[in-house]
Amino acid sequence: MPALRPQTGFSLLEVLVAFSVLALSLGVLMQVYSTGMRGVTLSEEYTKAIMLAESKLASVGSEIALEEGEARGEEDETYRWRVSLVPFTSEDLPENLGDVEPLQVDVEVAWSTGGHERRVALHSLRVRGPAEQRQ
């Protein structure tokens, strides 16, 4: 009569424990991955918004006239931008500037993502000379 060999393998309990550990590990990894992807997407949106704001700031004096007021627009049906120019006043400015007038330029880009309103803002100064003041 042949000798019976003991059966080798995993018991049902060991298999269930292994699957439970695997499921928990995969859940945590998927959460880390999705959080990373949200961060990358948000970073990309901020980069696009800053590039648009820098572009609008650079266009002041060429596409956007150097005069008091506000310009608004929309880009890619996602980003809303606003450029405002107001006279710059400061106690640090000399009394007599001659024929030049400093203007404060404020550029703001806003967009909505994930139920949140996001914004970036840039501020600068531009000098309006006599030629721009007559227009």
1 or 19, which is more confident? 19
**DSSP characters over 81-125:** EEEEEEE---TTS-S--TT-EEEEEEEEEEEEETTEEEEEEEEEE
| Top-ranked range on mean pLDDT: pick from 1-10, 96-105, 111-120 | 111-120
Each residue's pLDDT tens digit, 66-109: 889 999 999 989 999 999 999 887 776 767 667 778 899 999 99
- Give the mean pLDDT of 101-127: 93
Average pLDDT, the chain: 88
Beta-bridge mates of residue 122: 107
Each residue's pLDDT tens digit, 20-67: 999 999 999 999 999 999 999 999 999 999 999 999 999 998 898 888
Domain boundaries, the chain: 12-134
Cβ atoms of 52 and 79 within 8 Å: the answer is yes
Supply the pLDDT for residue 72. Answer: 95
Name the token pair of 111: 């967009």
The gap from C-alpha 103 to its chain's centroid, in whole angstroms, comes to 26
Supply the pLDDT for residue 132. Answer: 59
Integer CA distances (angstroms), 57 to 115, 116, 132, in order: 28, 25, 17
Supply the pLDDT for residue 2. Answer: 66
Among residues 69, 127, 68, the alpha carbon closest in space to that of 98 is found at 127
Global confidence as pTM: 0.74
Supply the pLDDT for residue 8. Answer: 75
pLDDT at 134 over 60: no
Q: Which helix (H) or strand (E) holds 69?
A: strand 69-75
